[in-house]
Structure 1
Amino acid sequence: MRIRKAVLPVAGLGTRVLPASKVTPKEMLPLVDKPTLQYIVEEAVEAGIEEIIFVTSASKHSIEDHFDSFPELERTLEKKGKQKELEAVRSIQNLAAYASVRQPAPLGLGHAVWCARHLVGDEPFIVLLGDDLVDPDTPCLKRMIELYEHYQSSVICLFEVPEENIPSLGIASVEHVAGAADTFKVKHLVEKPSIEEAPSNLAVAGRYVFTPDIFAILEKTPPGKGGEIQLTDAIQVQAEAGRCYALNFQGIRYDTGTPLGLLTTSIAYALKRPDIAPALREYMRQALAEHEGR
């Protein structure tokens, strides 16, 4: 069955970027002139996704509003002849079909994904996390979908991390798949292990392709680390059954979940913009020269 739907869990409080995320969802913090979440939606659409399912919470109204129509703004832009801005605003609501569901309590990423079960139905689907961005020049979703279609199993995205980052991530034990240089078979997953306990330095990035049986597994998954229902624990069940593969991702990934990550990602995306990059480079040269001269 073709993958048509993507689930975006965006119910978290964004505590790592407080106070910026106190009233503005961390996923709506801007990278240049677009919220972070819009880049992720565009990534999903580029991979062929037709329906976006947001798993939100009570404080996340602005997410649904951003991807909805805004007639008053559109009329104002039209009257002022701001056609470029009007097209940009209208294009957002036409990227995909949108739906949303509430996560009633912060019970973990696994629980957030489970909350989307009725909207997904009995279909394979993608999950994309709201603070992980993949550089558009090094996409991963289309290849992950190819692996799903070949193996008819769930597929996760793995990337190598420095040793000091291991305790904050999900880490995988894998074996290579013969004849597929970029493909692993996942043997074991552990959420946020110590460096000594980690089975490898391969961490789970915020991109997943799931077979629909993940919902039944999540329903039976007890709370794990932090008292939350961990998505990693449910994937482990699939891995033990031989039904989980991984893409060995060699592209560029950005973490916008910290102030430094948000800032550096915004700079990276601005440097891709021909209308912004020259002036930004000049500012950075001057700023660095002034700093070094102090």
Structure 2
Amino acid sequence: MTTHKPIKKAVFPVAGLGTRFLPATKAIPKELLPIVDRPLIQYAVDEAREAGIEQMIFVTGRGKTAIVEHFDMAFELEKTMNERGKNMSVLEPTRATPGDIITVRQQVPLGLGHAIWCARAIVGDEPFAIFLPDELMIGNKGGTGCMKQMVDAYHRTGGNIISVLEVPHEEVSSYGVIDPGAENGALTEVKGLVEKPPVAEAPSNKIISGRYILQPEVMRVLEAQEKGAGGEIQLTDAMAKMIGQQPFHAVTFDGKRYDCGNKLGFVEATLALALEREDMGADVRAMAERLLASQL
């Protein structure tokens, strides 16, 4: 049986300004905005840990130090909670083992591909994962997370893996989509990547959805600093050059994606996850029904 290098590192591009959520994000990174009571970045890190990833690499910008502090020890807070007999388990996921959180700075916003390239020295010659925290991925009915599904597929195929979701055909022009090859259950061979194709020309309705497992050779492609759509260094362009050079597959995620990069998706995620909570789901449902009834 062929063995592949394990995925132990993940890159989180978190240098964005979050202008869609101003003024809330004037002083608070958008990745720390909470969905119910957990910030977006916490959901992504928890998903990474579930998949066996040990080292989190945050590509940050100015004003993003609070993201790192979220995963640090809060001595005063914990001392006060302990003295008052409060439940400390709620803070457990926010404590990082020393050395597990590494940050690099993206000084200039030159695109997603550039943000990933900024982590090249830490990634080294190992395969790595990428998480776009704006895209909140929740497994169906308490099932495994998106990255765990991808890592399981990676152990079988090696190479490069991206997550995809199926959307109505009339929506494909808003996303990057794959040109599919052979399919085997949730696994699809990727023959090409097309960014925001016209509906009539789209090769499929499977959209790229914010999770990646890539081989380190992608950094060699990105170092050319070639600009693509919008005058930015695009990760999609670099991945497209890997197709045919290495195995490249897509995993259709068994779960729900919430686009928390916009306000409507953020509100949807908050409501959906609140409804699933045992401690508040029934009350939230009753509240939503009252609010809807008051609008009639």
Q: Report TM bin, short chain.
A: over 0.9
Letter in 1 for 2:255: G
243, 254, 258: which is aligned to 2:258? Answer: 254
CA distance in 2, matches of 1:42, 1:127: 14
CA distance in 1, matches of 2:181, 2:20: 34
> In the alignment, which residue of structure 1 is the partner of 2:278?
274
Name the SS for the 1:135 alignment partner: strand
> In the alignment, which residue of structure 2 is the partner of 1:68?
72
Mapped pair 1:56 → 2:60: yes
Count of residues in Structure 1 that have an aligned counterpart in Structure 2? 288
User: Contact 1:187/1:242 (CA < 8 Å) preserved in 2?
Assistant: no
Mapped pair 1:99 → 2:105: no
Shift of 1:98: 1.0
Q: What are the equivalent positions in structure 2 for 1:129-278 lying under 5 Å apart?
A: 129-136=132-139, 137-138=142-143, 139-177=145-183, 180-278=184-282
Letter in 1 for 2:110: L
Q: What is the CA RMSD across the aligned residues, in angstroms?
A: 1.7
User: Contact 2:146/2:254 (CA < 8 Å) preserved in 1?
Assistant: no
CA distance in 2, matches of 1:66, 1:79: 21
Deviations 1:230-265 (A, max 9, x none): 000011011142531111224211111111110110
Name the SS for the 1:53 alignment partner: strand
Shift of 1:291: 1.3
CA distance in 2, matches of 1:9, 1:197: 31
> In the alignment, which residue of structure 1 is the partner of 2:51?
47
Letter in 2 for 1:119: I
Name the SS for the 1:185 alignment partner: strand
Name the SS for the 1:271 alignment partner: helix
Shift of 1:77: 1.3
CA distance in 1, matches of 2:171, 2:106: 28
- Stretch moving more, 90-99 or 36-45: 90-99
Shift of 1:104: 1.0
**Residue segments in structure 2 that go unaligned for 5+ positions in a row:** none
User: Contact 1:114/1:219 (CA < 8 Å) preserved in 2?
Assistant: yes
Mapped pair 1:124 → 2:130: no
User: Contact 1:171/1:204 (CA < 8 Å) preserved in 2?
Assistant: yes
**Residue segments in structure 1 that go unaligned for 5+ positions in a row:** none
CA distance in 1, matches of 2:201, 2:227: 20
User: Contact 1:190/1:233 (CA < 8 Å) preserved in 2?
Assistant: no
CA distance in 1, matches of 2:178, 2:22: 30
CA distance in 1, matches of 2:23, 2:175: 24
CA distance in 1, matches of 2:195, 2:294: 44
Runs of 4+ in structure 1 deviating by more than 6 angstroms, as ranges, are none
> In the alignment, which residue of structure 1 is the partner of 2:90?
88
TM-score by length of 1: 0.92
Shift of 1:37: 1.0
Mapped pair 1:3 → 2:7: yes
Name the SS for the 2:194 alignment partner: strand
Shift of 1:164: 4.5
Shift of 1:80: 1.9
Name the SS for the 2:190 alignment partner: strand
CA distance in 2, matches of 1:267, 1:37: 18
CA distance in 1, matches of 2:204, 2:92: 45
1:91–1:134 CA distance, 2 compared to 1 (3 A): closer
Shift of 1:73: 1.2
276, 285, 290: which is aligned to 1:286? Answer: 290
Shift of 1:113: 0.8
TM-score by length of 2: 0.91
Shift of 1:147: 2.5
Letter in 2 for 1:2: P
Name the SS for the 1:265 alignment partner: helix
